[in-house]
A and B are shown apart, each in its own frame.
Chain A
Amino acid sequence: MKHYFSLFTLFIPLLAQAHYIPAKDTPITLNASLAATWRSDNVVEENEYWQVPGSNMGGDAWPAEEGIQVDEMTLGLGIRIDENTYGIVEVGTHASGRSDHSSVSLEHAYIGYTCCEEFGPLVIEVGKMSAAFSPSLSSHAAERLTSETSLAADVFFGRYFHDEGARLMWHSDSLTAGAEIWKGNAFPATASAGYAWDAFARYQWRGNNFSLSSGAWLYRSSAETRADHRYGGGHQHTPVAVPGETIAVFPDTRFTGDTDVYGIHADVAYTSDDQYWKSGLKAEFMGMQMDGTLHDAIGRAADLDSDQTGAWAQPYITVKNHTFGIRAEWLTSDNVITGAPANQLGADSGMANPTGFEPSRYTAIWLWQWKETIALRTEIIDDQSLLEDNLRFGVGIIWKQTLWPFNGNSHH
């Protein structure tokens, strides 16, 4: 019991990654969450493509849309199989720009095994999972302060990271280290180019009022003819324009080469003695390197050497049930494209950023934990991530509940 309790406490800071181990006394747990937001504006016009200048996007990085959207809905089942083994299954939906893309999908299906507490414990998880290396990447709209994923996670990782793979973690009192190996289905990798892998380490310290969690990670992958599957990649979607307008067909540029991303993150918080208020700062910084070739269907190819950085910093203060926060985000790109079609491929792929534009975005949030399982969220977003500024508001609702065992508490 004591072991499991300590395991639990270890994993509390990792709760943000939706990563937990079912307790022995609750062998089956079922958790649900839902985040839905009404937004006042699109970030891009309907039937335009969301392409942040200087980046090569893909995966599931869909643009924010006007109106009501279900940002995310998940239903997760955790089963404690025996003393050391457990299984997690989670299904969910994500918002996407196309009705045929947003469907319920199996997001997690994995088995975990813990052991070796003499020097550890060690945890091994195998199956279809989210990545654990970066907190931005495993955050959910129902858990984090903002409804929109950070730009860095959107641009570098296509918003979500669900892949088949294996993970090994080692835990000590304050230190966690781990490594993961992936099949390569998740952006920015492609499965045809071999395995992607990452390694990470995290340090946690807890004092009377302060808590600190900080870590670093490295992710390496390769891709072969990687497409932007939001809009292109073999099965082209031809958007239908309003009468009187024409729409350009999405240029299906591919990338073949290596993508390496490294990151550091920190989460500092101070809680007052009476726990009346809490203030803190969460931040993550990522650097990405792309080294390979941009090419397209008519045989044009140009070499690409790209160094990009992305960062977000989110100071916040929580007073009783209300949290006020600001998230500031920045992206930079330093791209070198060489080859006769460099101009065209640079423009088509989105990597060209001739004015040296540096995207940024500022979000101010007020989150009110109205009931234990329901929160209301209001946001103002000053979006300067594209060449044209966009100011939008969001009003949303978050519901998180442990459905079984039914005691109203959500640990998920």
Chain B
Amino acid sequence: MVRILALVTCSFFMSVLLSGCVPESKTVIDDQGARISSFDWNIPDSIPFPKVPANNPMTEEKFQLGRHLFYDKRLSSNGDISCSSCHEQDKAFSDGITRATGATGDVHPRNSQTLVNAAWYQTLTWGNPLLVTIEQQIMLPLLGTDPIEHGINEANFEQILQSIQADPVYNELFAAAFPQQEDPLLGEQAWNNSIKSLASFVRGLVSFNSPFDRGELNASAKRGERLFNGEVLECFHCHAGYNFSDATTDRETQFSQLDFHNTGLYNIDGSGAYPEPNTGQHEVTGKSEHMGRFRAQSLRNIELSAPYNHDGSVATLRDVILNYANGGRVIASGENSGDGRMSPVKDGFIVSFNITNSEVDDLVEFLKSLTDTSFVTNPRFSNPWLPPSSQQTFTESQEP
């Protein structure tokens, strides 16, 4: 009798436990439309969409118009410079030289960057915390006077616009890109429309199809990846995330902290000074703690964009790595001499580390695995003004 009671109690308890308030398992994910876009970005699902300014939504037509303007040499004072003059597709839209020269002979103080995944950067250019959109940045090469790059000025901007307006190709492109405007090419908004479409083209330069993305690393690159992510080199701290830069922002990012870093390349006065005018973030803010701080570049396609660093003063990837291994760069003589390793304003992560030659090779091999050959040969990003026969006959392939 007692035993029966025991059994009954036991089973009663169990059934109470099992039946009472045990809900069903489910997960509700509400991303609030983060993956809704009328523009086909053609990026893998794991990559979040980039931020797009509200006043310049991405459309395919703007992208194509911007592409035409990007490669158009008429957008310069001497009719010989287009954006592509310093941003060549086969070099991931950099130019392979230390510093470029503008239409009037001014040499730019800094190295031309790649335009890879420009849409995902928090700020544009090497060290300017104010340039938050591509639209803002584009004003500089076109209209800047210090240095003069394209050289568009008071004496030629109207004529330059006229030459664009005279080309029948642009008639269609402008009308398609700005259908709500009455006269997007000939009207008041012409320059504004041009800047917006150029920005849309640059924004659409996406590259996420490297061997790394496809998981095709050879043994050396895998070792290099481990070094990259390891606690000795700690590359991943600044070259972090899917775009290998901590200066990344996307549609999902709510809070952005502007990240600029001093890597100990110069130390001219013993207090960490960099040579004028390239003092990085300091040039804009004037704060001494910002001396020599530059944005951490995306390492995608980095193999193609030598020479390196903000002034092109580091020739190869190997040299870049050795500078980090030393904890900074020593310049023995000349006007920029100084021991960057001793810089008091150097970033806290730049401490020296031991690395063997074969480890450097492995790391370089890993960095090479970030090269997306489909990006540099994709006809979608190439010069539309060239006759069709000289264009590549690949099909678009961004899907990993």
Q: Do chains A and B touch in the complex (CB under 8 A)?
A: yes
User: Residues of A with Cβ closer than 8 Å to B?
Assistant: 54, 209-210, 236, 238, 240-241, 243-246, 249, 266, 268, 270, 279-281, 283, 285, 287, 297-301, 307, 309, 311, 313, 315, 330, 332-344, 346, 351-354, 356-358
Further contacts, 4 of them, CB under 8 A, given A241-B226, A340-B48, A343-B29: A249-B236, A281-B13, A339-B31, A354-B29
**Docked pose: A240 CA to B22 CA in angstroms:** 40
Q: Give min CB distance, A68 to chain B, whole Å.
A: 29
B254: chain A residues at CB < 8 Å are 299-301, 339-340
Does B24 make an interface contact (CB < 8 A)? yes
Q: Give min CB distance, B244 to chain A, whole Å.
A: 12
Which residue of the partner chain A has the closest CB to B33? A340
Q: With contacts A297-B240, A339-B32 known, is A352 near B27, CB below 8 A?
A: yes
A356: chain B residues at CB < 8 Å are 24-27
Q: What are 6 sample pairs from A and B whose C-beta atoms fall under 8 A apart?
A: A270-B6, A281-B14, A309-B22, A309-B23, A334-B26, A339-B31
Q: With contacts A270-B2, A270-B3 known, is A344 near B252, CB below 8 A?
A: yes
8 A Cβ contacts from B249-305 to A: 249, 251-257
Does B325 make an interface contact (CB < 8 A)? no
Does B225 make an interface contact (CB < 8 A)? yes
A313: chain B residues at CB < 8 Å are 14, 17-18
Q: Which among A54, A243, A298, A309 is the interface contact of B240 at CB below 8 angstroms?
A: A298
B236: chain A residues at CB < 8 Å are 249
Asked if residues A311 and B229 are in contact (CB atoms below 8 Å), the reply is: no
Q: Give min CB distance, B158 to chain A, whole Å.
A: 43
Does B28 make an interface contact (CB < 8 A)? yes
Q: Give min CB distance, A363 to chain B, whole Å.
A: 16
Q: Give min CB distance, B286 to chain A, whole Å.
A: 26
Q: Which among A241, A279, A341 is the interface contact of B31 at CB below 8 angstroms?
A: A341
B28: chain A residues at CB < 8 Å are 335-337
8 A Cβ contacts from B1-58 to A: 2-3, 6, 9-10, 13-14, 17-18, 21-35, 46, 48
**Docked pose: A281 CA to B10 CA in angstroms:** 7
Q: Give min CB distance, A287 to chain B, whole Å.
A: 7
Q: With contacts A238-B229, A300-B252 known, is A357 near B31, CB below 8 A?
A: no
Q: Give min CB distance, B121 to chain A, whole Å.
A: 13
Q: Which of B59-67, B94-102, B214-222 contacts A (4 or more CB under 8 A)?
A: B214-222
Which bracket fits the contact residues of B?
35 or more
Does B72 make an interface contact (CB < 8 A)? no
**Docked pose: A285 CA to B13 CA in angstroms:** 11
Does B335 make an interface contact (CB < 8 A)? no
A346: chain B residues at CB < 8 Å are 27, 29
A300: chain B residues at CB < 8 Å are 252-254
B13: chain A residues at CB < 8 Å are 266, 268, 281, 283
**Docked pose: A334 CA to B217 CA in angstroms:** 38
Which residue of the partner chain A has the closest CB to B247? A298
B399: chain A residues at CB < 8 Å are none
Asked if residues B34 and A340 are in contact (CB atoms below 8 Å), the reply is: yes
**Docked pose: A245 CA to B35 CA in angstroms:** 32
Asked if residues B32 and A298 are in contact (CB atoms below 8 Å), the reply is: no
Asked if residues B226 and A240 are in contact (CB atoms below 8 Å), the reply is: yes
Asked if residues A344 and B48 are in contact (CB atoms below 8 Å), the reply is: yes
Which residue of the partner chain B has the closest CB to A338? B30
Q: Which of B2, B27, B226, B257 has the most CB of A within 10 A?
A: B27
Does B135 make an interface contact (CB < 8 A)? no
B231: chain A residues at CB < 8 Å are 236, 238
B229: chain A residues at CB < 8 Å are 238, 249
Q: Which among A238, A246, A283, A353 is the interface contact of B27 at CB below 8 angstroms?
A: A353
Q: Give min CB distance, B171 to chain A, whole Å.
A: 38
**Docked pose: A407 CA to B46 CA in angstroms:** 64
Asked if residues A337 and B6 are in contact (CB atoms below 8 Å), the reply is: no
Which residue of the partner chain B has the closest CB to A357? B25
Does B382 make an interface contact (CB < 8 A)? no
A283: chain B residues at CB < 8 Å are 13-14, 17
B256: chain A residues at CB < 8 Å are 299
Q: With contacts A268-B10, A285-B17, A339-B32 known, is A238 near B253, CB below 8 A?
A: no
Q: Which of B17, B24, B32, B241 has the most CB of A within 10 A?
A: B17
**Docked pose: A234 CA to B43 CA in angstroms:** 30
Does B365 make an interface contact (CB < 8 A)? no
B27: chain A residues at CB < 8 Å are 54, 333-337, 346, 351-354, 356
B31: chain A residues at CB < 8 Å are 339-343
Asked if residues B25 and A353 are in contact (CB atoms below 8 Å), the reply is: yes
Does B248 make an interface contact (CB < 8 A)? yes
**Docked pose: A343 CA to B29 CA in angstroms:** 6
Which residue of the partner chain B has the closest CB to A285? B17
Q: Give min CB distance, A218 to chain B, whole Å.
A: 15
Q: Give min CB distance, B18 to chain A, whole Å.
A: 8
Does B230 make an interface contact (CB < 8 A)? yes
Does B339 make an interface contact (CB < 8 A)? no
Q: Give min CB distance, B261 to chain A, whole Å.
A: 15
Q: Which among B18, B25, B34, B257 is the interface contact of A334 at CB below 8 angstroms?
A: B25
Q: With contacts A240-B226, A315-B10, A352-B27 known, is A340 near B252, CB below 8 A?
A: yes
B21: chain A residues at CB < 8 Å are 287, 309
Q: Which of A236, A330, A343 has the most CB of B within 10 A?
A: A343
Does B372 make an interface contact (CB < 8 A)? no
A268: chain B residues at CB < 8 Å are 6, 9-10, 13
**Docked pose: A309 CA to B34 CA in angstroms:** 30
B32: chain A residues at CB < 8 Å are 338-340, 342
Q: Give min CB distance, B143 to chain A, whole Å.
A: 32
**Docked pose: A145 CA to B226 CA in angstroms:** 42
B362: chain A residues at CB < 8 Å are none
B253: chain A residues at CB < 8 Å are 298-300, 341
**Docked pose: A285 CA to B48 CA in angstroms:** 39
Q: With contacts A238-B231, A283-B13, A342-B30 known, is A334 near B6, CB below 8 A?
A: no
A285: chain B residues at CB < 8 Å are 17
**Docked pose: A337 CA to B30 CA in angstroms:** 6
**Docked pose: A298 CA to B257 CA in angstroms:** 8
A330: chain B residues at CB < 8 Å are 22
Does B149 make an interface contact (CB < 8 A)? no
Q: Give min CB distance, B77 to chain A, whole Å.
A: 41
Q: Give min CB distance, B224 to chain A, whole Å.
A: 11
B252: chain A residues at CB < 8 Å are 300, 339-341, 344
